[in-house]
Amino acid sequence: MHIKGNLSKFERMEEGSQITEFGKVFIYLVVGTLLVLLTLLLGKLLSPKKPTAAKQSTYECGEVSQGSSWIQFNSRFYVIALVFLLFDVEMVFIFPWTTVFGSSELIAADGRWGWYTLVEMFIFIGILIVGLVYVWKKGDLEWIKPSPKIPALQTTIPQKIYEASNKKNYQVRPFGAIPTQTAEPSKVQENTAPKPAFKPKFITKGS
């Protein structure tokens, strides 16, 4: 068989090339890196640089940054986030399951399909619930509450006055039922003074 004779020009060239497939990936990487470096170099050469104190300062949406960013975060968020992620992923599995579970075609093919998928999903959720129970038992779901020292005020006013004030019920007046006081017509004075109208004035400089 003369397969070689039927090869196109391109294929024959490929056969003789010295670069392996990984070599092509290497060239790709080198050219990619060089292009990025060239762009950075061009930017470095061509861009005008006028650094000022304000320009070098940290960008915080126009605010002047305050304090250090090296502060402590409470680690309880970490565990809660992990547990949340676990059950979030569970939802991702349940949603496609519902479409297969309710598929009328598959149920028509075999009546036991519905029961089979339902039991399977309960096994899946059961395993995850074991995980939840484990986390609960370990006490990872307990929120570490701060115990602040509430300062006690030194006053001579007894505490029960405050309590009485807190328990006091205020009567709410019914809305809209305010009796209107009608003045005698003789006493009503006609307001003849002209209303102060808005008149924009052009302020000249120096005035």
Residue 17 is which amino acid?
S
* ∠ CA 53-55-58, rounded to 5°: 95
From candidates 5, 16, 48, 185, binder to other proteins by CB under 8 A = 48
Q: Which amino acid is at 204?
A: T
The residue among 25 and 41 lying less far from other proteins, judged by its C-beta, is 41
Question: What's the rounded Cα separation, in Å, for the pair 203 and 32?
Answer: 64
Q: Which stretch binds other proteins (CB under 8 A): 22-30, 40-48, 125-133, 134-142?
A: 40-48
Contact flag: residue 196 with other proteins (CB under 8 A): no
6: enclosing H helix or E strand:
helix 3-6
Q: Which two tokens stand for residue 90?
A: 């569970």
Q: Which of 1, 3, 46, 183 binds other proteins (CB under 8 A)?
A: 46
Beta bridge partners of 60: 63
Distance of CA 173 to the CA centre of its chain: 44
Given 3, 64, 144, 152, the residue binding other proteins (CB under 8 A): 64
Q: What are phi and psi of 192, to 5 degrees?
A: -90, -15
Candidate segments 15-23, 60-68, 171-179, 180-188, binder of other proteins by CB under 8 A: 60-68
Choice between 45 and 123, CB closer to other proteins: 45
Binding of other proteins at residue 49 (CB under 8 A)? yes
Question: Quick check: 50 binds other proteins (CB under 8 A)?
Answer: yes
Provide the 3-class DSSP secondary structure of residue 63: strand
**Which residues make up the interface to other proteins (CB under 8 A)?**
44-50, 52, 54-55, 57, 59, 61-64, 200-201, 203
